[in-house]
Every structure is written in structure tokens, then in C-alpha cells.
Amino acid sequence: MSKQVVVVGGGVIGLLTAFNLAASVGQVVVCDQGEVGRESSWAGGGIVSPLYPWRYSPAVTALAHWSQDFYPQLGEHLFATTGIDPQVHTTGLYWLDLDDEAEALAWAERERRPLSAVDISAAYDAVPVLGPGFKRAIYMAGVANVRNPRLVKSLKAALLALPNVSLREHCQVTGFRHEGERVTGVQTADGVIDADEVVLSAGAWSGDLLRTLGLELPVEPVKGQMILFKCAEGFLPSMVLAKGRYAIPRRDGHILVGSTLEHAGYDKTPTEQALESLKASAVELLPELAEATVVGHWAGLRPGSPEGIPYIGPVPGHDGLWLNCGHYRNGLVLAPASCQLFVDLLTGAEPIIDPAPYAPVGRLG
């Protein structure tokens, strides 16, 4: 297929879309308004699971399961081809004192996922640094986290090595070019880039761009703040989650604690209020963090969408325009499946899962 495809947005969804497309189309151009991967893909925690997977629809579950199974080989492939290890780190995850524990266990049995109730003493044995007072725990083995800034760097390096892919950073797309009802390119500050197909994967900015066509895409920025501690390697052997806050261990001893959920438009300013709230949650989960130094505090913008169900497929009434966006809190979780499904649809291949729940038709205003 000798088409030129323009991907608007260079987060993990846009980069992996381009990476998967490169084997099937003539040319791929990725445009990002800043540096690729520096928005929510860089800011998130990288847990390769929805925080509460049983609270999501089957549409999100289907993408999550496919992606979770695929992530280890994606990490290995990128490391082998680029020398940059995304560090897919399998630690398992403990949920503590859940209100809906029964629903979680019923979901696990129904979906055949390795999640089960464990005695709280077993959780304290496995995670000795856990704070006191927790009464109940459930645990899912096999849950990994990916070091998302390294994943983005690895994807960027992989794309730069491909002869038919070009990355255009600091290239803001302001609109779409049409011939009749067909989209034939994008308008940027540097001029028009022609395309046979255009893919909108612009994260929290996707709704603004689609509005230039008079279409209402219910994707909006939702701010999240995170903090990072440096501890000894092995300090935290497993991910832990309680009261909506989580702690994620990296292989080198860094501990990531997050996150807030704020509707603050496009403001990404870290706040003192969030810092203190996250510190308090960190110390409640892991009291020894009271003595640890916060080595990072930042904010990012998630692409909020109804029920967190992404939009994957062609835009009705605008031939040549496609969506792969609106992943809300689960862009990193769902990326492998979303991007493979997207490429299946664009190239006419057999889709890996039923694409109907993600189709833009009927979901745009």
C-alpha cells in the first residue's frame, strides 16, 4: 500500500500507530506540537492495567487484556532494535481495603484473570514497608509497569531508524485540508502536508482539532499530578493501591506516587496543594517515604472521554480521516491493542478484536 499517512500527535498512541503502520504503507509522517511523547505519555505512571479493571466496560477490558499479554514482547522487541529498554517490570499489584472487593473477585472469575483475595498478613509479608492499619487485600500476579519515558524514547528511536517514517516535532496542526468530502492533508504553521489518510491521535487536544470540522468529540483535558521518590533498589517489591492512590516501583529504586484528577482546562502547573496531598498518601501507604526526598513533581493532561472508551476508526462524512484517541487514564495500558486494531482497520486486515465499540460513528456530536 503506497499511501502517505499523516499521524497527528506523537504520544505513545501516535508513535505506536506510526510504528505499526510503517510496515504496511508507503510513507508515515508524525506531527507533534511539541516534542514527541512529552505530554500524558511521559507524565503517567505506566501501570499495565486499568487501576480498577472491574469497573470498566467490556470494550476497555478487551483492549486491556490483549495489550497486557502483548507488552512483554513489545518491550523485548524495542530493546533489541533500539538498545533502549522500556523496562516492562512485572511486580504484581495489591489493592487494599476496597469497597467493591466482591465485584472485583466476581470480575476476575468471569474474565479468568489471576486476581484473588489474600490474607492481609500475606500482603505485609510480601510488602514489609506497607503502612499499618490495612485490613483486607486482593492481589493480581503478573501485572507489570512500563517505564513510560523510556518507552517513548525507544519508540522514537525505532521510528527514526525507519526509512519511510518522518517525525516533525514542534509542528502544530491547525486544521485539515479537504477536497470535497475527502480529507487530503493537514494545515500546519509550516504549510500543508498532503496525505492519503490522516490519523488524529492528539490526546487531550483531539477534540479541539475535530471542532475545526464542526464535529464535537467529547475528549477533554483532565489534569493529573504525580510525585517521584528515590529509594534503595528493592525497597518496594510490588505495586500497591489504596484510596485511589498508588505506588509504583521502578527497577532502580525510584517510587512513583499518583495521582490527582483535576478538571483545570489546559493548565499543567504543579500545585503545592497536590504535592502535600500526594505526600500524605505516599506516607500512609509506605511510612518510610516520610524520610525520602521528592525528586520530581509534575502534571500531565489525560484525554478524558466518556467511560474511558477510545475512538478508533474512520470519521463519518470525512473520508480519509481516522481517529485513534480518547483513551483517558489508560493510554499506556491500551496502546498495543488500540494501535494494532487501528492498523487492521486502515489496511483492511482481520481485526484483532471486535472494532464496533470504538467506532466514531454515532459517538460524535
What is the C-alpha separation between 239 and 250, in angstroms, rounded?
Answer: 10
Domains along the sequence of the chain with CATH: 4-45+150-218+307-358 (3.50.50.60), 93-141+220-304 (3.30.9.10)
How high is the pLDDT of residue 89? 94
What is the C-alpha separation between 185 and 207, in angstroms, rounded?
Answer: 18
Encode burial over 31-54: b for 16+ CB neighbours within 10 A, e otherwise.
Answer: bbbeebbbbbbbbbbbbbbbbebb
What is the C-alpha separation between 155 and 186, in angstroms, rounded?
Answer: 23
272 pLDDT above the threshold of 80: yes
Write the pLDDT tens digit of every residue in 302-328: 999 999 999 999 999 999 999 999 999
165 pLDDT above the threshold of 80: yes
How high is the pLDDT of residue 248? 98
What is the C-alpha separation between 249 and 245, in angstroms, rounded?
Answer: 14
- Of the pLDDT bands very low, low, confident and very high (cuts 50, 70, 90), residue 365 is confident
Relative to beta strand 144-145, strand 89-90 is antiparallel
Per the CB < 8 A criterion, the answer to whether 327 and 13 are in contact is yes
1 pLDDT above the threshold of 90: no
Write the pLDDT tens digit of every residue in 228-268: 999 999 999 999 999 999 999 999 999 999 999 999 999 99
What is the C-alpha separation between 267 and 73, in angstroms, rounded?
Answer: 36
Q: What is the 3-state secondary structure (H, E, C) of the chain?
A: CCCEEEEECCCHHHHHHHHHHCCCCCEEEEECCCCCCCCHHHHCCCECCCCCHHHCCHHHHHHHHHHHHHHHHHHHHHHHHHCCCCCCEECCEEEECCCCHHHHHHHHHHHCCCEEEECHHHHHHHCCCCCCCCCCEEEECCCEECCHHHHHHHHHHHHHCCCCEEEECCCCEEEEEEECCEEEEEEECCEEEECCEEEECCHHHHHHHHHCCCCCCCCEEEEEEEEEEECCCCCCCCEEEECCEEEEECCCCEEEEECCCECCCCCCCCCHHHHHHHHHHHHHHCHHHHHCCEEEEEEEEEEECHHHCCEEEECCCCECEEEEECCHHHHHHHHHHHHHHHHHHHHCCCCCCCCHHHCCCCCCC
Region 124-138: what's the mean pLDDT? Answer: 98
How high is the pLDDT of residue 2? 81
Q: Count of CB atoms within 10 A of residue 211's CB?
A: 12
How high is the pLDDT of residue 123? 98
Region 65-80: what's the mean pLDDT? Answer: 96
Write the pLDDT tens digit of every residue in 168-208: 999 999 999 999 999 999 999 899 999 999 999 999 999 99
Region 67-91: what's the mean pLDDT? Answer: 96
47 pLDDT above the threshold of 90: yes
What is the C-alpha separation between 279 and 178, in angstroms, rounded?
Answer: 50
Region 341-359: what's the mean pLDDT? Answer: 98
